[in-house]
Amino acid sequence: MNKKWITIIIVVVVLFLIYNFFTGKYNSMVTKEEAVTTQWSNVETQYQRRNDLIPNLVNTVKGFAEQEQEVLVGVTEARAKASSINVDPTNLTAANLQQFQAAQGELSSSLSRLLVTVERYPDLKSNQNFLELQAQLEGTENRIAVARKRFNETAQDFNTYIRVFPNSIISNMSGFERKALFEADEGAENAPTVEF
């Protein structure tokens, strides 16, 4: 009778330990995946901040540089395209992230062209509204870089966690997949040529 109870207790304890092990690992994966989702939201928030600043910047420039209509239209169109691409944080594949990053890159390029155009207008360069908007835009670009870095760190932590043994077994059974990371734009490894 005693051996029977001891065996039952041992089996129950072993089952309890196995259950706790698997639920603990699964819950950790869920927590890390939610952290990736949160960081992705932070990235999107910074891009949205930039998108919200652009109409004010364009309108300020418009008042000074009506003849630069092509540049202004380019910025507006790039903003519309970048705003239209939404990536679901539960489906952060490399292809989706690359499409998102390409649209944001086009917008950055358009903004750069706009800021170069502004150099031709000394009155605009000294306009307080423009200077403030330009400073906010520069600050937002820095925030975007920080948010992307934090996203990559969080996604890398999640990716590592689900790939190590025995977590990889649990993640495969539960359907957890690797998250894509932001990568440098093509050609970013080459320093730009500056000519005077």
pLDDT for position 190? 52
Q: Where are the beta strands (DSSP E) in the chain?
A: none
Where do the structural domains in the chain lie, given as residue ranges? 2-174
User: Which tens digits make up the pLDDT trace of 31-90?
Assistant: 999 999 999 999 999 999 999 988 888 888 877 766 677 788 888 888 888 888 888 888
User: Which tens digits make up the pLDDT trace of 131-142?
Assistant: 888 888 899 999
Place of tokens 């605009």: 124
Task: Identify the residue with better confidence: 11 or 57.
Answer: 11
Cα separation of 50 and 54, whole Å?
6
CATH superfamily of the 2-174 domain: LemA-like domain (1.20.1440.20)
pLDDT over 50 (residue 194):
no
Q: Which amino acid is at 86?
A: N
Task: Identify the residue with better confidence: 120 or 107.
Answer: 107
The reported pTM is 0.78
